[in-house]
Chains A and B, each alone.
Chain A
Amino acid sequence: MATNAALTSQSNVVRPRLPVWVLNLLITVFVVSLYPLNGVLEKFMDPYYLRIVIFIGMNIILATSLNLFNGITGQFSLGHAGFMALGAYVTGSAMLRYNPEGMAGSFAQLGMLVAGGIVAALAGLVVGIPALRLRGDYLAIATLGFGEIIYTIINATDQIGKFEIGGASGLHGIPIRTNFFWTFAFAIVCVVCIWRLAYSTKGLAFRAVREDEIAAAAMGVDTTFYKVTAFVIGAFFAGVAGGLLATYDGNLAPESFRFSRSIEIVVMVVLGGSGSITGAILAAVVLTCAPELLRFFSDWRMVIYSLALIVTMLVRPEGLLGRREIWWRRRTLARVSG
């Protein structure tokens, strides 16, 4: 027992190798450098491939944000497309009404995307507080219901005040402003946020809720608060991804935010490995590219796509990466922060 003091001083705690301000600076520089990269890509890259890359970016945001709730916090939501729809329509119809030129337009775009995310987050808060009393299957059904309600409302609404919604025929003519830069800037912000939340002492509470809710509560973790927080943060980024989609495509159709879209995102999280952030990113890349690569099989495309999914889940039921991250070492990640 007398050796305690000695053990303290040389505890095998690993500090991040780079000072954090350097890391934060590097991330900022990286995000800014996406801007010139965007110009290069638009000039030299085949638009078809660039489109796939941009969809990868959006799917990374969707999969990572759902992973915080479904994977890291261990809950089950089937309503991610609902939040996406909210963000898409808020951003889309606001940009349709108000679209200044030049620099002001970029700021408007940024503001509208964040506004879309905030509206989705508020919806997440309103739905989450009652729904998160439910567990497992019941929670899944409640969130599924939420998604369908959002779809139904949008489908039946032509206008809200002076803002066009478009109803069943969809919203058209949204100014197209989103490109590679916008998508990946938000993708990086999303991944960094969720990574840092998950791998910190405070964020350990999310994983504790997943592992054992009763024990987590007995350790002083406010489980409801953490579940709602995960849900709301996930909703925010889903809303942003929706807004990006709206201002990339220029058209929105309510059908594109139905149940099947939620399932698509859930599949990404499960295939990558629930709880693994890099796994969700990997799955977003693979599952966005796969349908395109399989065009070669024409009619059999979706059959082969589904078969590939089934085989993957049979071979690796825990997902591609399980709960690990790509560069997992034996060290606990709590301390490989950064």
Chain B
Amino acid sequence: MALLEIKNLAIHFGGLKAVSDFNFSLDSGQLFGLIGPNGAGKTTAFNLATGVYKPTEGSVQLCERSLVGLPPFKINRLGLARTFQNIRLFGGLSVLENVLVGFTQSVTHGFMGTVLRTPKHQREDNHHDDEAMDLLATLHLAEKADYPAASLPYGDQRRLEIARALATRPKILLLDEPAAGMNPQEKVDLMGLISFIRDRFKVGIWLIEHDMKLVMSICERITVLDHGETIAVGTPAEVRGNKDVIEAYLGESV
């Protein structure tokens, strides 16, 4: 059984079947893509996996443990971290603090330890500071550690979201359009960074992206959604030649 296993997942909003009969599995070290036209249900699939929505039917399992019905913070603690399509950084906190928030769940001392500043508290906080700086260095953000997150340029904010998600020590990382709004060069750099992250942190990465060229270039397998239904699954080459996919994106041929 794969690390992340999704079976027959579906959610209906009233009569609208936003996602139906969705199947997916991902292991650590793999990099899979999820594509589809606007409104196809890609982000909804992410929201189902991370507990933002509760599925109407189907199962989501991480390490053979069911995630259905768990609140988002528990799902994150079990090892499923995500970024957001519309960036959701803690704008008023510094870049470093944004990453440190990801470490709050690994703090083992209690509030008393924090108030008394016990040696254990200091050890842990210092250790987390170093680790956070490490992550920022990996994502090329170390020089901006003390800037307010909201003041960063767009591309940096996207990378900071990834750093923050990595701080929660995920087994699986879900990236929701990480390259949106970037210029072509930034996109190429980011894709390099994503494969690097997969190798360095040994995580499985599941990626939503609009830019077909990019997805095709780095993903090993791609799932294509349209109107909530899976219309194709396969390697980039297979998906590229698929008739349904071309129709979904370009419309039917006359």
Contacts and interface: CB of A to CB of B under 8 A. Distances in A.
B93 interface: yes
Contact of A1 (B103, B128, B138): B138
A284 B199 CA distance: 54
B24 interface: no
A20 B117 CA distance: 7
Contact of B125 (A192, A197, A200, A208): A200
A221 B134 contact: no
Contacts of B101: 204-205, 208, 216, 219, 221
Contacts of B225: none
Given A196-B115, A211-B91, A212-B88, A201 B125 contact: yes
A11 interface: yes
B94 A332 contact: yes
Nearest to B142: A7
Contact of A338 (B115, B117, B133): B117
B93 A220 contact: no
Interface in B102-133: 102-105, 107, 109, 111, 114-117, 119, 121-122, 124-126, 128-130, 133
Contact of A24 (B114, B117, B164): B117
Main secondary structure, interface of B, reads helix
Contacts of B145: 12, 332
Given A201-B125, A204-B104, A220-B73, A13 B130 contact: yes
A331 interface: yes
B6 to A, nearest CB: 18
Given A196-B115, A201-B100, A220 B92 contact: no
Contacts of A204: 93, 97, 100-101, 104
B196 A1 contact: yes
A143 interface: no
A7 B140 CA distance: 11
Contacts of B117: 20, 23-24, 196, 337-338
Interface range, B side: 35 or more
Contacts of A208: 90, 93, 101, 104
Contact of A334 (B88, B97, B116): B97
Nearest to A200: B114
Contacts of B97: 204, 207, 332, 334
A179 to B, nearest CB: 25
Given A192-B115, A201-B107, A208-B90, A15 B146 contact: no
Nearest to B122: A20
A220 B76 contact: yes
**In terms of DSSP, what is the predominant structure of the interface of chain A?**
helix
A59 interface: no
A196 B164 CA distance: 23
Q: Which of B119, B121, B196 has the most CB of A within 10 A?
A: B121
Contacts of A306: none
Contacts of A215: 84, 88-90
Interface string A1-35: 10110011001110100001001100000000000
B181 interface: no
A269 B146 CA distance: 26
Contacts of B82: 218
Contacts of B167: 219
A296 to B, nearest CB: 40
Interface string A290-306: 00000000000000000
Contacts of B59: none
Contact of A330 (B52, B103, B126, B146): B146
Contacts of A13: 126, 129-130, 133
Given A7-B137, A7-B142, A218 B93 contact: no
16 contacts: A3-B137, A7-B134, A8-B133, A11-B129, A11-B134, A11-B137, A201-B128, A201-B129, A204-B97, A207-B90, A208-B104, A212-B90, A219-B76, A221-B104, A334-B94, A337-B117
